[in-house]
Amino acid sequence: MDSPARVAGTVRPGGRTARVRAAVLQAAQDELVEHGFHGLTMDQVAVRAGVGKTTLYRRWGSPAGLVTDLMVELAEQSSPHADTGSIEGDLRANAMAVVEAVNDGRLGATFQAMIAAATCDEQAAAALRAFYLRRIEEWAGVVELAVGRGELPPGTDATEVIRAVSAPLYYLLVVTREPVTAEAAERSVRRALAAAKAGAFIP
């Protein structure tokens, strides 16, 4: 991909492409956080990233294309699942990762903006869905490990357990709009685990 991006440096094309992408996604995230998805314009992102509009349109097409790539990048940057040796520890790590993400000024605002965008834009919804399905799939590994260790019954639906840990936290965040605390994370883990041990996640 040759790129007419107006960035300094004489790095090789691959490096420049990666640098342009990083600058564009950072600018897109900044604009998303400050103005929301409906205030996200290609022109402002181009200015903020210091890249040409031609590049921006050619590589990302639209604001929806920008947030789709941003969600891919955020999923890639996310850490792999925990492996603390117990399902309780691993689910707690998962729940605390959600608590930290949603309470992080920039990251939290990014997800709230995407959740808002997804209510009225199908591409934004698809980007959001892809991000979460990828994260759920990654963390499902901790449930599989727990089944292997005999902590949870065979046949436990791993992705459903991960969803069950996150759901009460997002419910606080976007539905009842209450603080998403470490205590809420602890309660969520305790309940998902009790249900899982009772076999309620076996289809």
Query: Contact positions toward its own copies, by CB under 8 A?
Result: 36, 38, 112-113, 115-120, 125-126, 128-129, 132-133, 136, 160, 163-164, 166-168, 170-171, 174-178, 187, 190-195, 197-201
Q: Which amino acid is at 148?
A: G
CB of 138 to its own copies, least distance (A): 14
Shortest Cβ 85–its own copies spacing (Å): 22
CB of 193 to its own copies, least distance (A): 8
**CB closer to its own copies out of 90 and 121:** 121
Q: Closer CB to its own copies, residue 77 or residue 176?
A: 176
CA distances from 68 to 60, 63, 107, 125 (A): 9, 9, 15, 9
Give CA–CA dist 178/51, Å, rounded: 39
Distance of CA 87 to the CA centre of its chain: 22
Cα–Cα distance measured from residue 65 to residue 56, given in angstroms and rounded to the nearest whole number: 10
d(C-alpha 197, C-alpha 19), whole Å: 47
Q: How far is the CB of 172 from its own copies (least distance, A)?
A: 8
Instruction: Give the angle 19-25-26 at the CA atoms, nearest 5°.
Output: 90
Least Å distance, CB 80 to its own copies, is 20
Smaller CB separation from its own copies, 19 or 187: 187
117 by DSSP, 3-state: which?
helix
Rounded Cα distance, 142 and 87, in Å:
7
**55 or 156: CB nearest its own copies:** 156
Residues comprising the chain, all counted: 203
Quick one: 97 or 117, whose CB is closer to its own copies? Answer: 117
